[in-house]
Amino acid sequence: AQSVAQPEDQVNVAEGNPLTVKCTYSVSGNPYLFWYVQYPNRGLQFLLKYITGDNLVKGSYGFEAEFNKSQTSFHLKKPSALVSDSALYFCAVTYNFNKFYFGSGTKLNVKP
Amino acid sequence: GAVVSQHPSWVICKSGTSVKIECRSLDFQATTMFWYRQFPKQSLMLMATSNEGSKATYEQGVEKDKFLINHASLTLSTLTVTSAHPEDSSFYICSATGTGGETQYFGPGTRLLVL
């Protein structure tokens, strides 16, 4: 069973508009959720995480994500997209920090 | 903080040779290191997890005799691709977690091309 899913291969948004990159996870214990961004030919950069506490977490570069237990989702959002946000975004979940499950990735295209 | 480096960033080798990739945590002690493989336009595939001083735990389908992992210190893990073949060409990425182990920090990746 897939532990984390990113239903959109690609998201297109105009610069200045809000963006959302979706992520849902399979219920199996208490999930800890992460978002990473990958630029071409680079490793992954950590954006934000939900471990416990406030369901709305704020991260790097103005990104935020909301942990929604009832919908088993952890969508990544930003109020105003920048062209420089164009990259590949990965959602990841772990239940014990011994193994992380990554989504298939969503390519974000921000057009000027 | 939490910087992970990989060396080399690019490597091209002939089929049959062995290639060693180093992963270092520069400003923290990495109690656990992970090795991933990423194919073009695909997600990361976990190959193995290693803890300092112990044998690596390999994922199902990953040949441990082909992909040798050594985690000799709290700041260094190495992945050796033995007798590399063209199908081993890929982007290899390592990550590390420190004490507490909540967040994985990733290296910049190593692109391997086997001719």
Residue A9: what residue type?
Answer: D
Query: What would the two tokens of residue A97 be?
Result: 């920090």
Query: How confident is the model over A16-25, as a mean pLDDT?
Result: 96
CB contact under 8 A, B108 and A42: yes
Q: Which residues pair with A57 in a beta bridge?
A: A65
CB interface of A with B, residues 23-42, below 8 Å: 32, 34, 36, 41-42
> Which sign, positive or negative, has the C-alpha torsion B87, B93, B97, B98?
positive
Confidence label for A1 from pLDDT (cuts 50, 70 and 90): low
CB A4 within 8 Å of CB A102: yes
Q: Which of B2, B49, B105 sits opposite A98 (nearest CB)?
A: B49
d(CA A98, CA A103): 17
Query: How confident is the model over A37-59, as a mean pLDDT?
Result: 90
Report chain B residues whose CB lies below 8 A from the CB of A49.
102-103
CA-nearest of B88, B93, B113 to B104 is: B93
3-state secondary structure (DSSP) of residue A83: helix
Query: Any CB–CB contact under 8 A between A95 and chain B?
Result: no
B88 pLDDT above the threshold of 70 = yes
B3 pLDDT above the threshold of 60 = yes
Query: Any CB–CB contact under 8 A between B98 and chain A?
Result: no
Question: How does pLDDT run across A51-107, given as a tens digit for each residue?
Answer: 988 999 999 999 999 999 999 999 999 999 999 999 999 999 988 887 888 999 999
- Distance (Å) from the alpha carbon of B68 to chain A's nearest alpha carbon: 19
Query: What would the two tokens of residue A54 be?
Result: 């406030």
CB contact under 8 A, A34 and B111: no
Geometric angle at alpha carbon B112, from B111 and B115, rounded to 5°: 140
Q: What is the pLDDT of residue A99?
A: 82
Average pLDDT taken over every residue of chain B: 91
B13 pLDDT above the threshold of 90 = yes
Question: How does pLDDT run across A98-108, given as a tens digit for each residue?
Answer: 788 899 999 99
Residue in B closest to A10 by C-alpha? B41
For residue B40, whether the previous peptide bond is cis, meaning omega lies within 30 degrees of 0, is no
3-state secondary structure (DSSP) of residue A101: strand
Confidence label for A38 from pLDDT (cuts 50, 70 and 90): very high
CB interface of A with B, residues 52-71, below 8 Å: none
Q: Which of A42, A49, A102 sits opposite B103 (nearest CB)?
A: A49
Question: How does pLDDT run across B38-68, given as a tens digit for each residue?
Answer: 987 778 899 999 988 888 999 999 999 999 9
CB contact under 8 A, A43 and B109: yes
Q: What is the pLDDT of residue A29?
A: 76
Residues in chain B: 115
